[in-house]
Amino acid sequence: MAPRLTMTDTELKHLLAERIATVRHRIAAACARVGRDPATVTLIAVTKTVSVRVATLAWELSVWDLGENRPQELWKKAAAIPGANWHLIGHLQRNKLDRTVPLVTRIHSVDSLRLLAALDAFGQKRGSPVPVLIEVNCSGEATKGGFAPAEVPSVFDAARSLAGVTIHGLMTMAAYDPDPQATRPTFAKLRELRDAMRTYTGWPLAELSMGMSNDFEVAVEEGATFVRIGTTLFENLGSE
Protein backbone atom coordinates (compact mmCIF):
# COMPACT_ATOMS: atom_id res chain seq x y z
CA MET A 1 0.00 0.00 0.00
CA ALA A 2 1.22 3.47 -0.84
CA PRO A 3 2.09 5.62 2.15
CA ARG A 4 -0.50 8.22 3.07
CA LEU A 5 0.53 11.65 1.89
CA THR A 6 -0.46 13.55 4.98
CA MET A 7 1.05 16.94 5.66
CA THR A 8 3.07 17.38 8.82
CA ASP A 9 1.93 19.98 11.33
CA THR A 10 4.71 22.28 10.17
CA GLU A 11 3.70 22.05 6.50
CA LEU A 12 0.06 22.52 7.32
CA LYS A 13 0.75 25.48 9.55
CA HIS A 14 2.84 27.12 6.88
CA LEU A 15 0.10 26.72 4.26
CA LEU A 16 -2.62 27.96 6.62
CA ALA A 17 -0.50 30.91 7.73
CA GLU A 18 -0.17 31.97 4.10
CA ARG A 19 -3.89 31.70 3.46
CA ILE A 20 -4.74 33.63 6.64
CA ALA A 21 -2.27 36.38 5.71
CA THR A 22 -3.80 36.63 2.23
CA VAL A 23 -7.34 36.91 3.60
CA ARG A 24 -6.29 39.52 6.16
CA HIS A 25 -4.55 41.47 3.42
CA ARG A 26 -7.66 41.35 1.21
CA ILE A 27 -9.82 42.53 4.13
CA ALA A 28 -7.42 45.42 4.77
CA ALA A 29 -7.41 46.37 1.08
CA ALA A 30 -11.23 46.38 0.99
CA CYS A 31 -11.24 48.56 4.11
CA ALA A 32 -8.76 50.96 2.52
CA ARG A 33 -10.99 51.37 -0.54
CA VAL A 34 -13.82 52.73 1.62
CA GLY A 35 -11.83 54.42 4.39
CA ARG A 36 -12.53 51.86 7.12
CA ASP A 37 -10.20 50.76 9.91
CA PRO A 38 -9.43 47.02 9.43
CA ALA A 39 -9.63 46.58 13.20
CA THR A 40 -13.41 47.00 12.87
CA VAL A 41 -13.67 43.76 10.85
CA THR A 42 -13.43 40.43 12.68
CA LEU A 43 -12.39 37.39 10.67
CA ILE A 44 -14.36 34.30 11.68
CA ALA A 45 -12.74 31.12 10.36
CA VAL A 46 -15.57 28.70 9.59
CA THR A 47 -14.17 25.31 10.55
CA LYS A 48 -17.14 23.13 9.55
CA THR A 49 -15.25 21.22 6.84
CA VAL A 50 -12.07 20.54 8.80
CA SER A 51 -10.82 18.46 11.69
CA VAL A 52 -10.14 19.62 15.22
CA ARG A 53 -6.44 19.48 14.32
CA VAL A 54 -6.76 22.02 11.48
CA ALA A 55 -9.12 24.24 13.48
CA THR A 56 -6.57 24.25 16.32
CA LEU A 57 -3.81 25.31 13.94
CA ALA A 58 -5.93 28.27 12.73
CA TRP A 59 -6.40 29.35 16.33
CA GLU A 60 -2.68 28.95 17.05
CA LEU A 61 -2.11 31.25 14.07
CA SER A 62 -4.05 33.98 15.91
CA VAL A 63 -7.45 33.58 14.33
CA TRP A 64 -9.25 34.02 17.64
CA ASP A 65 -12.79 33.74 16.25
CA LEU A 66 -14.04 30.40 14.96
CA GLY A 67 -17.47 29.53 13.58
CA GLU A 68 -19.55 26.40 13.13
CA ASN A 69 -23.00 26.02 11.62
CA ARG A 70 -23.96 22.84 13.52
CA PRO A 71 -24.32 22.81 17.29
CA GLN A 72 -22.93 19.27 17.76
CA GLU A 73 -19.81 20.06 15.77
CA LEU A 74 -19.39 23.28 17.74
CA TRP A 75 -19.62 21.35 21.03
CA LYS A 76 -16.89 19.00 19.90
CA LYS A 77 -14.50 21.68 18.64
CA ALA A 78 -15.19 24.12 21.48
CA ALA A 79 -14.23 21.37 23.95
CA ALA A 80 -10.91 20.98 22.12
CA ILE A 81 -10.30 24.73 21.64
CA PRO A 82 -11.95 26.39 24.64
CA GLY A 83 -9.90 29.58 24.29
CA ALA A 84 -11.43 30.58 20.95
CA ASN A 85 -14.36 32.95 20.57
CA TRP A 86 -16.95 30.56 19.15
CA HIS A 87 -19.74 31.74 16.86
CA LEU A 88 -22.81 29.69 15.97
CA ILE A 89 -23.68 30.66 12.39
CA GLY A 90 -26.31 28.02 11.56
CA HIS A 91 -29.74 26.97 12.71
CA LEU A 92 -30.16 26.31 16.44
CA GLN A 93 -32.85 23.87 17.51
CA ARG A 94 -34.30 24.80 20.86
CA ASN A 95 -33.43 21.42 22.37
CA LYS A 96 -29.72 22.19 21.77
CA LEU A 97 -29.85 25.69 23.18
CA ASP A 98 -28.84 24.96 26.79
CA ARG A 99 -25.67 23.21 25.73
CA THR A 100 -24.72 25.65 22.98
CA VAL A 101 -25.26 29.11 24.46
CA PRO A 102 -22.66 28.83 27.25
CA LEU A 103 -19.98 28.01 24.66
CA VAL A 104 -20.48 30.89 22.24
CA THR A 105 -19.68 34.58 22.04
CA ARG A 106 -22.49 35.19 19.51
CA ILE A 107 -25.45 33.36 18.03
CA HIS A 108 -25.60 34.79 14.49
CA SER A 109 -28.60 32.85 13.33
CA VAL A 110 -31.75 33.80 15.21
CA ASP A 111 -34.32 32.92 12.61
CA SER A 112 -37.63 32.68 14.50
CA LEU A 113 -39.51 34.42 17.30
CA ARG A 114 -39.79 31.09 19.09
CA LEU A 115 -36.00 30.78 19.19
CA LEU A 116 -35.68 34.40 20.34
CA ALA A 117 -38.14 33.71 23.18
CA ALA A 118 -36.27 30.54 24.20
CA LEU A 119 -32.94 32.40 24.22
CA ASP A 120 -34.56 35.12 26.31
CA ALA A 121 -35.74 32.55 28.86
CA PHE A 122 -32.22 31.11 29.02
CA GLY A 123 -30.64 34.54 29.47
CA GLN A 124 -33.10 35.51 32.20
CA LYS A 125 -32.49 32.28 34.06
CA ARG A 126 -28.71 32.63 34.02
CA GLY A 127 -28.91 36.34 34.81
CA SER A 128 -27.03 37.68 31.78
CA PRO A 129 -28.44 38.35 28.31
CA VAL A 130 -27.56 36.09 25.39
CA PRO A 131 -25.74 38.06 22.65
CA VAL A 132 -27.41 37.46 19.30
CA LEU A 133 -27.76 38.66 15.73
CA ILE A 134 -30.97 38.45 13.74
CA GLU A 135 -30.65 36.48 10.51
CA VAL A 136 -32.27 38.17 7.54
CA ASN A 137 -32.98 36.62 4.17
CA CYS A 138 -32.08 39.62 2.01
CA SER A 139 -31.66 37.65 -1.19
CA GLY A 140 -35.17 36.18 -1.11
CA GLU A 141 -33.94 32.67 -1.95
CA ALA A 142 -36.33 30.00 -0.70
CA THR A 143 -33.44 27.77 0.40
CA LYS A 144 -32.04 30.38 2.80
CA GLY A 145 -33.12 30.83 6.40
CA GLY A 146 -33.88 34.00 8.25
CA PHE A 147 -36.60 36.60 8.51
CA ALA A 148 -37.86 38.44 5.46
CA PRO A 149 -36.71 42.08 5.61
CA ALA A 150 -40.33 43.20 6.05
CA GLU A 151 -40.64 41.05 9.21
CA VAL A 152 -37.61 42.54 10.93
CA PRO A 153 -39.36 45.53 12.61
CA SER A 154 -41.74 43.12 14.33
CA VAL A 155 -38.73 41.15 15.64
CA PHE A 156 -37.42 44.32 17.26
CA ASP A 157 -40.90 45.10 18.60
CA ALA A 158 -40.89 41.69 20.28
CA ALA A 159 -37.31 42.12 21.52
CA ARG A 160 -38.01 45.38 23.35
CA SER A 161 -39.61 43.51 26.24
CA LEU A 162 -36.97 40.75 26.43
CA ALA A 163 -34.33 41.25 29.13
CA GLY A 164 -32.62 37.92 28.43
CA VAL A 165 -31.25 38.68 24.95
CA THR A 166 -29.18 41.52 23.52
CA ILE A 167 -29.43 42.04 19.78
CA HIS A 168 -26.06 43.24 18.52
CA GLY A 169 -26.94 43.48 14.83
CA LEU A 170 -27.97 41.57 11.73
CA MET A 171 -26.64 38.64 9.71
CA THR A 172 -27.22 37.57 6.12
CA MET A 173 -25.97 35.25 3.38
CA ALA A 174 -25.87 36.46 -0.20
CA ALA A 175 -26.92 34.25 -3.08
CA TYR A 176 -23.83 32.72 -4.67
CA ASP A 177 -22.84 34.54 -7.84
CA PRO A 178 -19.64 34.02 -9.85
CA ASP A 179 -19.45 37.81 -10.01
CA PRO A 180 -19.03 38.95 -6.38
CA GLN A 181 -20.16 42.47 -7.34
CA ALA A 182 -23.63 41.02 -7.90
CA THR A 183 -23.89 40.45 -4.12
CA ARG A 184 -23.52 44.16 -3.33
CA PRO A 185 -27.26 45.00 -3.25
CA THR A 186 -27.83 42.21 -0.70
CA PHE A 187 -25.20 43.60 1.65
CA ALA A 188 -26.29 47.21 1.14
CA LYS A 189 -29.83 46.14 1.98
CA LEU A 190 -28.73 44.56 5.28
CA ARG A 191 -26.82 47.71 6.21
CA GLU A 192 -29.78 49.95 5.37
CA LEU A 193 -32.10 47.71 7.38
CA ARG A 194 -29.68 47.87 10.32
CA ASP A 195 -29.55 51.67 10.07
CA ALA A 196 -33.35 51.83 10.02
CA MET A 197 -33.62 49.53 13.07
CA ARG A 198 -31.01 51.59 14.89
CA THR A 199 -33.19 54.66 14.44
CA TYR A 200 -36.31 52.67 15.32
CA THR A 201 -34.93 51.24 18.59
CA GLY A 202 -32.14 53.58 19.63
CA TRP A 203 -29.91 50.52 20.16
CA PRO A 204 -26.31 50.54 18.86
CA LEU A 205 -26.73 47.48 16.57
CA ALA A 206 -23.02 47.71 15.79
CA GLU A 207 -22.63 44.39 14.05
CA LEU A 208 -23.20 43.25 10.47
CA SER A 209 -22.28 39.61 9.90
CA MET A 210 -21.98 39.23 6.14
CA GLY A 211 -19.50 38.03 3.55
CA MET A 212 -18.15 34.54 2.82
CA SER A 213 -15.26 33.25 0.71
CA ASN A 214 -16.81 34.34 -2.56
CA ASP A 215 -17.92 37.82 -1.60
CA PHE A 216 -16.27 39.03 1.61
CA GLU A 217 -14.50 42.00 0.07
CA VAL A 218 -17.77 43.41 -1.24
CA ALA A 219 -19.34 42.80 2.18
CA VAL A 220 -16.49 44.68 3.89
CA GLU A 221 -16.95 47.59 1.48
CA GLU A 222 -20.63 47.60 2.47
CA GLY A 223 -19.92 47.64 6.20
CA ALA A 224 -19.43 44.05 7.42
CA THR A 225 -18.01 43.79 10.95
CA PHE A 226 -17.88 39.96 10.89
CA VAL A 227 -16.84 38.02 7.79
CA ARG A 228 -17.38 34.24 7.91
CA ILE A 229 -14.79 32.45 5.82
CA GLY A 230 -14.39 28.72 5.27
CA THR A 231 -13.36 27.59 1.78
CA THR A 232 -10.68 30.22 1.12
CA LEU A 233 -8.87 29.23 4.31
CA PHE A 234 -9.51 25.50 4.45
CA GLU A 235 -10.02 24.22 0.91
CA ASN A 236 -8.58 20.68 0.52
CA LEU A 237 -7.62 20.46 4.18
CA GLY A 238 -10.73 18.58 5.24
CA SER A 239 -9.02 15.22 5.55
CA GLU A 240 -5.97 16.56 7.38
Q: Which residues bind ligand PLP (CB under 6 A)?
A: 46, 48, 69, 89-90, 173, 212-214, 228-232
Q: Other CB atoms closer than 10 Å to residue 71's CB: what's the count?
A: 21
- Measured from the CB of residue 64, what is the shortest distance to ligand PLP in angstroms? 17
- Measured from the CB of residue 66, what is the shortest distance to ligand PLP in angstroms? 12
Nearest residue to the partner ligand PLP, using Cβ:
230
Residue 110 CA: distances (Å) to CA of 14, 76, 89, 133, 200: 36, 21, 9, 6, 19
Give whichever of 56 and 214 is closer to ligand PLP, judged by the CB atom.
Answer: 214
- Measured from the CB of residue 121, what is the shortest distance to ligand PLP in angstroms? 25
List the one residue out of 181, 82, 194, 84 whose CA is nearest residue 135. 194
Work out the angle at residue 201's Cα, subtended by the Cα atoms of residues 223 and 89, and round it to the nearest 5 degrees: 50
Give whichever of 204 and 238 is closer to ligand PLP, judged by the CB atom.
Answer: 238
- Measured from the CB of residue 21, what is the shortest distance to ligand PLP in angstroms? 17
Give whichever of 90 and 164 is closer to ligand PLP, judged by the CB atom.
Answer: 90
- Measured from the CB of residue 229, what is the shortest distance to ligand PLP in angstroms? 5
Task: Determine whether 192 is exposed, middle or buried from the number of CB atoms within 10 Å of its CB (0-12, 13-18, 19+).
Answer: middle
Give whichever of 26 and 198 is closer to ligand PLP, judged by the CB atom.
Answer: 26
Give whichever of 88 and 162 is closer to ligand PLP, judged by the CB atom.
Answer: 88
Task: Determine whether 7 is exposed, middle or buried from the number of CB atoms within 10 Å of its CB (0-12, 13-18, 19+).
Answer: middle
- Measured from the CB of residue 238, what is the shortest distance to ligand PLP in angstroms? 11
List the one residue out of 36, 34, 44 whose CA is nearest residue 84. 44
Give whichever of 193 and 233 is closer to ligand PLP, judged by the CB atom.
Answer: 233
Q: What is the DSSP letter of 203?
A: -
Residue 168 CA: distances (Å) to CA of 22, 84, 108: 28, 19, 9
The CA distance from 119 to 102, in Å, is 11
The CA distance from 160 to 174, in Å, is 28
